Amino acid sequence: MKRIKSVGIIGAGTMGSALAQKFAQEGFPVTIMDREDRFLQKGLSNIQSTLNEGVERRIFTPEKVEAILGRITLTTTMSDLSTCGLIIEAVFEDLAVKQDLFARLSESVPVDTIIATNTSSFSVTELSSFVSHPERFLGLHFFYHAAKNRLVEIVKGEKTNDEAFEQCMWFMQQCGKDPIVCEDANGFVVNRFFVPWLNEAVRIFEEGIAQSGDIDLIACKTFGCGMGPFALMNATGVPIAYHAQKTLQHAFGDFYKPADALKAQTDLNLQWEIPETTDLDSKIAETISERLASVVLFVCGQILDEKICTAGDISRGAGVGLQWRKTPIDLFFKYGESRVKSLTEKLSHNWKMPVPLSITQGEWIPDFVSSEIKGDVGRIIINRPEGLNAMNPLVVSQLAVAFDQLDADPDITTIILTGRGKAFVAGADIKFFIDHIKNQTIPEIVKFTTEGQALFQRIDVSTKKIVAVVNGLALGGGLELALTADVIVALNNAVFAFPETGIGIYPGLGGTQRTIDRVGTGLTKFMIYTGQMLNAKTATEIGLIDGIVTWNEIQSLPEHASKLSRKNPILSDYWQEISNYFNSKTVYNLLDNHYEIPTGMEKMISRIRTKAPIALQLSERLINDHKGPESELMYISDLFRTQDALAGLQNVGKKPPTYRGI
């Protein structure tokens, strides 16, 4: 298969136009094909409207919009798609229409063109029978709004070859999508549990248990979502929910039968009325929450039984695609195995279905870290995009297993560390810290940090060549992980920072030590004291990383990893001045309001004075002593017992608190 350098979209409707916009935004030429020019013009109008909204919100400039639109070509002629590396079918769900379309498309494009369907109803394997050379055919199921929603389900048919699959995996990531991989089954992953969630909400409503507004409110609290099921159906179309549920019923039986009220609302072509919420009785609220949760947990148990995907893919699907802060995996561990079994057994009895065998704790542990081997190169991927790949004990333990296995393999010479999604690793899981501070279980934080330190040390001293490929945010612990590598390269959009002192703590996984080896003491203090975000270009200038790479270079990296080397740039006068300044000043100097601030340093010093003083002072001590990463463990227990630490951690993403130094 050839590399994907341009995309064809068949169908200029809501999905097709959104996909065209997304790929054009990412810099790729896009050709949209539809039957009539009026459909194409309507699709283009939708794209222009969405982009203009982006200009109003200052996401795009008018010049950027003009460039995006300039990459889009409209056509009614199928042969105009022949130059595209990937063609995605996004027409309405009619099997006869798709059959005819794929037959004609097969005659119009080269055999090495990848062809994909965005179907949510039909079997990818069945559709592939209408395509010549079905090995180049697969499913790419996107979610509304496809230009904004990062999730894509990649579905291999029985004949899909690995090359077509791999090309699409890389291309989707290059375009800012977070892919999950699933087997070819009705509903794939997300719709399989999401659509029954909508349907159960309607059942609760038609049984007179609560009004739609109350059900939406409880749903939002239970799953941590911004819109409840009734509001979502109004936004995306009530008939879409009905027809999706009908499709699932046809495949899986009466449990999936659409609620009568959902059918009636579809027949009337009306949106739901959503009255203001009431003062709902707590027992009714619990009933609503448990019924919605039990349906989702039951269906996810079926998904795991059928091995459609992994528990991690369920988490990624819900967290990224649906924006649920509390994914089905989170709910399972919140309720516990015993309670989940009780809930699903009740549902099983009511619908006369077997309880999924996978309702056991071991089956629900998400795979947040994976590894693969290509020749003598091993690659470790941190894949928790719904949490920006933030590290918690599970992530660290899985990372340790993956690294230790590759490190022990005598045939592997190089290990690549990278992430998937918007982040390489966006630091440690803040909720983990907050929970243990509130529960007065600080030793768990110490244990987590100690285990992380031990793993990072093993990576640091490995005889293998370690290459960190930073694909996005590398904050706090993420930057500390990258610093264990022999060579660090990054995409142009990568961002590096130590934000810890701004949230009441200090870098505890080697940041105060390994950074010195990279950029020297002065710039280490600058980075940790200010918490300033550095882009990839700046990080290269100061020697924090060794170079900037493209997606194509990342894809072929296993073939060239042995040639990568550490760079030692000569600092510019600007950065040398900053390094010298921080080398010559103490934290006491920097925090003293009477201290004269040199011209050009005002913003930096002002930023430092918003940080937690205890964290700054301990950072200074650790940097000056430079006794190695393990020295950071000395103050962890006391630091996390300070009021500043709790205040800072609870205000991440909000206005910084006023630190009191206690």
What is d(CA 373, CA 415) in angstroms, rounded to the nearest whole number? Answer: 9
Is the distance from CB of 385 to CB of 420 less than 8 angstroms?
yes
Strand stretches in 435-498, DSSP E:
465-470, 473-475, 487-490, 495-497
Half-sphere exposure (Cβ direction) of 475: Cα atoms closer than 13 Å: 22
pLDDT at 656: 85
Low-confidence ranges of the chain (pLDDT < 70): none
The domains found in the chain, sorted by start residue, are 7-182 (3.40.50.720), 190-364 (1.10.1040.50), 369-650 (3.90.226.10)
pLDDT at 93: 86
3-state secondary structure of 178: strand
pLDDT at 537: 98
Helices (H) and strands (E) in the chain, counts: 29, 18
Task: Please state at what angle helix 212-223 crosses helix 229-236, rounded to 10 degrees.
Answer: 100
> What string of DSSP letters covers 410-432?
TT--EEEEEE-SSEEE-SB-HHH
> Cβ contacts of residue 496 below 8 Å, gap of 6+?
470, 474, 475, 479, 482, 490, 533, 534, 535, 536, 539, 544, 545
The long-range contacts involving 482-485, CB below 8 angstroms and separated by at least 24 positions, are: 482/417, 482/424, 482/545, 483/510, 483/511, 483/514, 483/515, 483/518, 484/456, 484/457, 484/459, 484/460, 484/510, 484/514, 485/417, 485/459
Helix (H) or strand (E) holding 87: strand 86-89
pLDDT at 390: 97
CA nearest neighbour of 47 among 4, 79, 100, 9: 9
Q: What DSSP character marks residue 304?
A: H
Residue-wise pLDDT for 151-174, tens only, equals: 999 999 999 999 999 999 999 999
Is the distance from CB of 230 to CB of 216 less than 8 angstroms?
yes
Is the distance from CB of 206 to CB of 261 less than 8 angstroms?
yes
Tell me whether residue 530 is exposed, middle or buried, using C-beta atoms within 10 angstroms of its C-beta: 0 to 12, 13 to 18, 19 or more: buried
pLDDT at 54: 95
pLDDT at 559: 87
- Strands 7-10, 72-75: pairing is unpaired
pLDDT at 596: 82
Distances 509 to 237, 253, 448, 515, 632 between C-alpha atoms, Å: 48, 52, 10, 11, 7
- Strands 495-497, 534-535: pairing is antiparallel
CA nearest neighbour of 127 among 135, 117, 136, 142: 117
Q: What angle do CA 143, 270, 191 make, to 5 degrees?
A: 25
CA nearest neighbour of 120 among 83, 99, 145, 89: 89
pLDDT at 97: 94
What is d(CA 299, CA 450) in angstroms, rounded to the nearest whole number? Answer: 38
pLDDT at 629: 97
pLDDT at 300: 98
pLDDT at 654: 87
What is d(CA 552, CA 537) in angstroms, rounded to the nearest whole number? Answer: 19
Instruction: Please name the residue that has the structure tokens 């882009």.
Output: 535
pLDDT at 223: 98
- Predicted TM-score (pTM) of the model is 0.94
Residue-wise pLDDT for 560-574, tens only, equals: 888 899 998 999 999
Catalytic residues: 120, 141, 153, 191
